[in-house]
Amino acid sequence: DAKTTQPNSMESNEEEPVHLPCNHSTISGTDYIHWYRQLPSQGPEYVIHGLTSNVNNRMASLAIAEDRKSSTLILHRATLRDAAVYYCIRWGSQGNLIFGKGTKLSVKP
Amino acid sequence: DTEVTQTPKHLVMGMTNKKSLKCEQHMGHRAMYWYKQKAKKPPELMFVYSYEKLSINESVPSRFSPECPNSSLLNLHLHALQPEDSALYLCASSVYPGNYNLPLHFGNGTRLTVT
């Protein structure tokens, strides 16, 4: 199964860090972990991706467990503009980028 | 702003109409994708084009007909649609097919309503 498991929803306060978890217990050694987010009325937007090591970019950080069965997307200081649905996706041997249900993040002022 | 441009943004069509959705990218990407997204659901893959050739058809009904005239352009031709086909249709591109170490770039979609 190419799907990942994420909480349906999470809530955060503005200016605070947010940790979005994802389980991918059946991931293969060559599958990358991608994160996308979708703001209302927009297409999905690439956030970050990684294979084994933790990754940082201007938008977020990605922490990948040593056994690669789980990962966490970290938004260091949530803003109201970060309210979106966040999708964690395995992409590799199965060929296509298949979306799971995602986590709806709400940010309170 | 997105580098993948989809037109029109909104489309209303009757069940007997023929219409087309258009997607354009000028990033030199050689893989292009159509996804369908129903309200409050994740995007579902429909078609994948690799180097202008159809490589994946996820058992999509024939009333949806994709076309890739060149490496920058992707069309989705619609004919005899049903009201349940109403959805957001998303186009995406990536640098090379099967390169999982690079992201997909999505457009903002065409919101289709079938009456």
What's chain B's Rg over C-alpha atoms? 13
Chain A, chain B: beta-carbon pairs less than 8 Å apart: 49
Which residues 13-72 of B have a C-beta within 8 angstroms of A?
33, 42-45, 48, 56
Amino acid at A18: V
Q: B38-81 pLDDT, tens per residue?
A: 999 999 999 999 999 999 999 999 999 999 999 999 999 999 99
What is the Cα A76 distance to its own chain's centre? 14
Is the CB of residue B6 less than 8 Å from the CB of residue B23?
Answer: yes
Alpha carbon of A17: minimum distance to chain B alpha carbons (Å): 24
Task: Work out the pLDDT band at B1, boundaries 50, 70, 90.
Answer: low
Contact status of B95 with chain A (Cβ, < 8 Å): no
* DSSP assignments along A70-103, one per residue: EEEEEESS--GGG-EEEEEEEESTT-S------E
Q: What is the pLDDT of residue B7?
A: 98
Neighbours of B8 (CB within 10 A): 13
Cβ-defined contacts of A73-76 (< 8 Å, 24+): A73/A19, A73/A20, A73/A22, A73/A35, A73/A47, A73/A48, A74/A17, A74/A18, A74/A19, A74/A20, A75/A12, A75/A17, A75/A18, A75/A20, A76/A17
Q: Which of B98, B106, B109 minimises the CB distance to A45?
A: B106
Alpha carbon of B13: minimum distance to chain A alpha carbons (Å): 20
Task: Work out the pLDDT band at A94, boundaries 50, 70, 90.
Answer: low
Q: What are phi and psi of B83, to 5 degrees?
A: -55, -30
Q: Which of B45, B98, B106 minimises the CB distance to A44?
A: B106
Q: Do B98 and A95 touch (CB under 8 A)?
A: yes
- For residue B11, the cross-strand partners are B112
Nearest Cα neighbor of A33 from A25, A44, A24 is A24
Q: What are phi and psi of A64, to 5 degrees?
A: -110, 130
Task: Work out the pLDDT band at A74, boundaries 50, 70, 90.
Answer: very high
Q: What is the mean pLDDT of residues A86-94?
A: 85
Contacts of B4 in chain A (CB under 8 A): 43
Q: What is the pLDDT of residue B90?
A: 98
Which residues 23-62 of A have a C-beta within 8 angstroms of B?
30-32, 34, 36, 41-46, 49, 51
Task: Work out the pLDDT band at A2, boundaries 50, 70, 90.
Answer: low
Residue B54, CB-side half-sphere exposure with 13 Å CA sphere = 14
Is the CB of residue B7 less than 8 Å from the CB of residue B111?
Answer: no
Please state, in angstroms and rounded to a whole number, the distance separating the CA atoms of residues B49 and B104. Answer: 13
Q: What is the mean pLDDT of residues B16-30?
A: 96
Is the CB of residue B107 less than 8 Å from the CB of residue B3?
Answer: no
Q: A44-70 pLDDT, tens per residue?
A: 999 999 999 899 999 999 999 999 999
Task: Work out the pLDDT band at A1, boundaries 50, 70, 90.
Answer: low
Q: Which of B48, B103, B108 minimises the CB distance to A34?
A: B103
